[in-house]
Amino acid sequence: MKIAGVVLAAGLSTRFGGDKKLIEFNGETLVARAVRTATEAGLSLVIAVILDAVLIDSLQKLGATVLLNRRKYEGLSSSIAVGVRAAKMLGADGLVLMTCDQPALTVDHLHALVAEPHEPTGSAYAGRVGVPAYFPKTSFDALLALKGDAGARELLREARAVPNEALALDIDTPADLERARELLRG
């Protein structure tokens, strides 16, 4: 099966106070780390949806297909749509939606998400199910129908879930970044 990794990195980082995807974390930017993890997991193709052109060359060198979200101000759903359309066009049988601000994401967790390739699968942490999440091709139209700043959480309500409390650590503020650096040093 051809499974795409869609790295959502077109957010405005308003809570962080700067462009967090460019933050260096253990020697690489957060977005490069997400692309590398998807690649190391053996996902057939990696699509990075970004905010501006500054990252295109570096992410392409990592093997990612890089797309700009020209409608980023419409919210998260617009970035999801960019990634899903690209995955469809490239013939993907499924895709993993990922963000770039979960530095504890591992290759093993991505493998667990795609273990049942015909059913949606989310990540369970902090009492909820969210991203990273796997969606088979049959879910693409539902992903494209999302509107505004809503993610795909509603589509995961009845989905299989892979527990991983480490994913609750996402980097939304400078304090989150410092906590992540302490916990994931090296």
104-107, Cβ contacts within 8 angstroms, sequence gap of 24 or more: 104/164, 104/166, 104/167, 104/169, 104/180, 104/183, 104/184, 105/34, 105/37, 105/132, 105/167, 106/37, 107/37, 107/40, 107/41
pLDDT, position 96: 98
15 with 55: CB under 8 angstroms? no
pLDDT tens sequence across 37-72: 999 999 999 999 998 888 899 999 999 999 999 888
Q: How far is CA 148 from CA 70, 72, 74, in A?
A: 14, 10, 6
Separation between Cα atoms, residue 34 and residue 19, nearest integer Å:
15
Task: Work out the pLDDT band at 175, boundaries 50, 70, 90.
Answer: confident
SS3 of residue 7 by DSSP: strand
158: helix, strand or coil:
coil
Q: Single out the residue of 151, 146, 121 nearest to residue 136, CA to CA.
A: 121
Structural domain containing residue 87: 3-183
CB 120 within 8 A of CB 97: no
Name the domain count of the chain.
Answer: 1
Q: Under DSSP, is residue 91 helix (H, G, I), strand (E, B) or coil? A: coil
Whichever domain contains 154, its CATH number is 3.90.550.10
On whether the pTM is more than 0.75, the answer is yes
Residue with tokens 């979960």: 102
How confident is the model at residue 34, as a pLDDT?
A: 96
Model confidence pLDDT, tens digit, residues 4-16: 999 999 876 656 6
